Amino acid sequence: MERFDKKGMMIYPSPLRKIIRDKEKVLVVKECYCPQGHSLINPRAIFNGLAGIDLKVHTNEKAGRVVLSPMVGDKSRIALDVDLQSGEQVKITCPQCDTPLPLYAACQCGGELIALFTTPEKDYAHCVGICNRVDCFNGEVKSGGDMMSFSMLEAL
User: What residue ranges bind Zn ion (CB under 5 A)?
Assistant: 34, 36, 38, 94, 96-97, 107, 109, 111, 131, 133, 136, 138
Among 68, 67, 102, residue whose Cα is nearest residue 81: 67
Choose among 6, 95, 19: nearest CA to 57: 95
| 3 state SS of 112 | strand
Question: What length does the chain have?
Answer: 156
CB 105 within 8 A of CB 97: no
Q: Which is nearer to Zn ion, 14 or 32 (CB)?
A: 32
**CB of residue 18 vs Zn ion: minimum separation in angstroms?**
27
Q: How far is the CB of 36 from Zn ion (least distance, A)?
A: 4
Least CB distance from residue 6 to Zn ion, whole Å? 23
Tell me if residue 3 falls in helix, strand or coil: helix
Cβ nearer to Zn ion, comparing 19 with 106: 106
Q: Of 48 and 89, which has the nearer Cβ to Zn ion? A: 89
